[in-house]
Amino acid sequence: MKLEKGVRFLLLLSLLIVILVIPLLPLPLYVFHVIIILFFNAYLCTAWVIVGGFAKQVSLGHSTFVGIGAYSIGVLLSLFNLTPILGGIVGVLMTVCVALTLGYPCFRFGVRGPYFTFATMALAEVMYYVVVSLRGITGGALGIFIPPGVISSLLLLNKKIVSYYIIVVMFFFALFLARKIQHSKFGYYLTAIREDEDAAEACGVDILKYKLVALSLSAALTALGGAFYAIYYSYITPDGVLGLAVSFQIATMSLAGGAKFWFGPAVGALLITPFTETVRSMLGGRFVGVPMLLYGVLLLIVARAAPDGVSGFISSFLGRSESAGNTESYERH
C-alpha cells in the first residue's frame, strides 16, 4: 500500500493548504480554540513519544516539563519583568537540568520499566505541590496572570491567529524531528533499548547516554510547549500545566495513537482532543476527576484491542509490518 509520489505530494499539499487556511474561515471562536488545543496536544505528544514511545521509557512526569516551561515565563515576567522569549529559553534550560537530574540516577542505577514510571510520577506530584506552596513566587493555587500588554507586544496582530500559526509550526517541527530520529541510528538505538536493554548493551548501545539524550530532548520540546501555553492562555495555574492529569493526558493520547510510530501521537491527539474538549465543556468546572477516569478506560481499551495504538492497528490492517517503527529501511529491499 504505497501511494505514488505524485499523489502523495498532492495530498500533502492540500493538507498544508487546509491547515494554512483554517484561521481565515468563519469558524466559531470555540471551535478555533479546540483546533489550536489539538495542535498543542499533538505537539506535546510528539515530543513525549521520543522518550516514552521510541525508547519506551514511559514518563508520567512530562507535566513537570510543561509546567517549568510555562511558569518560567510567568514567574520571570512578574518578578524581573523579563520578556517571555528569554523566559522561555530559561525554562527550556531549566527543564533539561531537571530531566537530567531525574534521568541520570534512574538510568545509571537501572531503574527500569514501571519503576522509572513511578519515579516520574513522583516528580510530577512533587512539582505540583512545590508550585502550589511557593505562593509568593508562583501565585500558589491561583496561578499567575500574564498582562495582555506583554502578549500583544509579542504577538502583534490577532493573538489567536498568530498563536495558531506558531503552534502549527512547532508541531510540524516536532513531527519532522520525530520522523528524522526514527529513521536514524539514534532511532534504531532507541528501538533496541525499547526491545531489550541487555541485548542493546551487548550490541554496543550506550544505553545511559541514549536514554538521557532522548529524555532531555523530549523534555526541552515539552518545555517549549509549556511556553506556548503561557503565551496562549496568558494565565498559568498549577492544575492547567502541572500534576498527573496533564501527564496522563499526554501519555494516553500518545499510546492510543501508537507510541512506536513518529506519526502515532499526532493521530492520537487528533482523535482524542475533540472528545476530551467536548467532555470538558459539558462538565464545566464540575467533576474534575472525570477526564482522568476516561483516560483510564481508554488506556484499558487500547491495551486490550490495539496494543500498538491506532497507527499499529491501521498499519497491520494494511498489511505493512511497520511494527518496528524504523522498518522503512527493510521495505526498500
Partner 1 sequence: MQEILKVMNVTKNFGGLTALDDVNVTLKDKEILGLIGPNGAGKTTLINVIVGFYRPEKGKVFFNGEDITDSPPHTKAFKGVARTFQLTKPFSNISVFDNVMIGALLRTNSLSAAREKTMKSLERTGLKEVSGVISKGLPTGVKKRLEIARVLAMEPKVLCLDEVLTGLTPVEMDEILDLIRSLRKDEGLSIMIVEHVVKALMKGADRIVVLSSGKVIAEGPPKSVAKNPLVKEVYLGRS
Question: Quick check: 206 binds partner 1 (CB under 8 A)?
Answer: yes
C-alpha cell at 262: 513518529
Question: Quick check: 330 binds partner 1 (CB under 8 A)?
Answer: yes
From the list 154, 160, 201, 233, which residue makes contact with partner 1 (rule: CB under 8 A)? 201
In sequence order, the 6+-apart residues with CB closer than 8 A to the CB of 140 are 131, 132, 133, 134, 238
In sequence order, the 6+-apart residues with CB closer than 8 A to the CB of 32 are 22, 23, 160, 164
Question: Quick check: 185 binds partner 1 (CB under 8 A)?
Answer: yes
CA-nearest of 215, 277, 210, 287 to 33 is 277
**Nearest distance in Å: CB 329, partner 1:** 6
C-alpha cell at 98: 531537571
Nearer to partner 1, 195 or 239 (CB): 195
- Classify residue 101 by burial, with Cβ atoms within 10 Å: 0-12, 13-18, 19+: exposed
Question: Quick check: 2 binds partner 1 (CB under 8 A)?
Answer: no
Please list every residue from 260 through 279 that binds partner 1, using CB under 8 A.
260
From the list 15, 203, 293, 297, which residue makes contact with partner 1 (rule: CB under 8 A)? 203
In 160-237, where do the E strands start and end?
Answer: 235-236
From the list 101, 133, 184, 278, which residue makes contact with partner 1 (rule: CB under 8 A)? 184
**Nearest distance in Å: CB 332, partner 1:** 8
**For the chain, what is the total number of helices (H) and then of strands (E)?**
17, 2
The SS3 assignment for 235 reads: strand
Question: Quick check: 329 binds partner 1 (CB under 8 A)?
Answer: yes
Question: Quick check: 192 binds partner 1 (CB under 8 A)?
Answer: yes
**Nearest distance in Å: CB 217, partner 1:** 17
Binding site for partner 1 (CB under 8 A): 183-185, 188-189, 191-192, 195-196, 198-207, 260, 321, 323-327, 329-330, 332-333
